[in-house]
Amino acid sequence: MKHLTKIAVIILLTGLFACSNAPAPRSLPLHIGISKMHRKHNYSNWLHRYDSTVKLYNLYPLGVDSALKLAKTLDGILITGGADVFPGYYGKINDTARCGKFDRYRDSLEMALIHYAVNNKVPLIGVCRGEQIINVALGGSLIIDIPTDWDTVIKHSSKDWKIQWHGVNIVPNTQMAAISGQTHGTVTSSHHQAIENLGKGLRISAYAPDSIPEAIEWASRGDKGFLMATQWHPEHMDTLSPFSAPYAKLFLKESKKYEQKHQ
């Protein structure tokens, strides 16, 4: 019996010693998908400011099926700015002539990516058009043309984003309020459309002074994946802006949590 006890103690100590010397989990670089990269690489530069090791993938050239296959390896997805969302997706096909250019392939690609991210709890953020199509994918609608459909003196669009700035008011008790630490501020934007009716499960976390929605997030996250989107362009804003750096850092933090959970 004493002999068996000694053997048991040796096995236990050996196990503890092995555990104490086990290598720590590897810190792998994040894999982030970007729905469509732009020539000037503003979006990739924005994320690389806060994590230079992130591997970024341009999903636009892949085709929908290939992009969804790659999405299974991603830790986060960014839906970027661009052309108008086709209004047939939100019940306004008769207003097509009042819209700008369309990219029907991109619409289908981003719709598929958004639904995949939401269903699989992959961290998801959107910028400008990205906010709009996330809202539409979740059942919301858009204002077709702000200058003609909305009574406002605020200019939301310009060919030169460097001179296109306006105020925003942050909604209290939202995630945007928590990460920015602000009640109001200034952002740059370039859009003639905006959220009209909210998609399912969303809430507005920032407004322009004319009540145009400027940011969205989950109304109640619960067990959902991370989701935020802004009408403004954080990738064009200064690193010190409370509406740019904290947004990127939170997205990367949530992506890291997702990556560690799915190692």
Which entry of 99, 110, 128, 166 is annotated as an active-site residue? Answer: 128
Query: Is position 217 annotated as part of the catalytic site?
Result: no
**44: helix, strand or coil:** helix
Which entry of 191, 233, 254, 259 is annotated as an active-site residue? Answer: 233
pLDDT in 10s for each residue of the chain, 263 residues = 545 445 444 444 445 444 445 544 556 899 999 999 987 789 999 999 999 999 999 999 999 999 999 999 999 999 999 999 999 999 999 999 898 888 999 999 999 999 999 999 999 999 999 999 999 999 999 999 998 988 888 888 766 666 779 999 999 999 999 999 999 999 998 889 999 999 999 999 999 999 999 999 999 999 999 999 999 999 999 888 999 999 999 999 999 999 998 87
Distance, in Å, from the CA atom of 226 to the CA atom of 252, rounded to the nearest integer, reads 11
Helices (H), ranges, the chain: 2-20, 42-48, 64-71, 104-120, 129-137, 146-149, 175-180, 245-261
Q: pLDDT tens digits for 63-95?
A: 999 999 999 999 999 999 999 999 999 999 999
Query: Is position 31 annotated as part of the catalytic site?
Result: no
Distance, in Å, from the CA atom of 117 to the CA atom of 228, rounded to the nearest integer, reads 12
DSSP string, 74-136: -SEEEE---SBPPGGGGT-GGGGGGS--B-HHHHHHHHHHHHHHHHHT--EEEETHHHHHHHH
What domains does the chain contain, in order, with CATH numbers? Answer: 18-261 (3.40.50.880)
Distance, in Å, from the CA atom of 31 to the CA atom of 103, rounded to the nearest integer, reads 26
Q: Which residues share a beta bridge with 217?
A: 203, 228
Query: Is position 254 annotated as part of the catalytic site?
Result: no
Mean pLDDT value across the chain: 89
Which entry of 131, 214, 217, 235 is annotated as an active-site residue? Answer: 235
CB 219 within 8 A of CB 202: yes
Q: pLDDT tens digits for 17-54?
A: 444 455 445 568 999 999 999 877 899 999 999 999 99
Q: What is the pTM of this model?
A: 0.88
Amino acid at 240: L
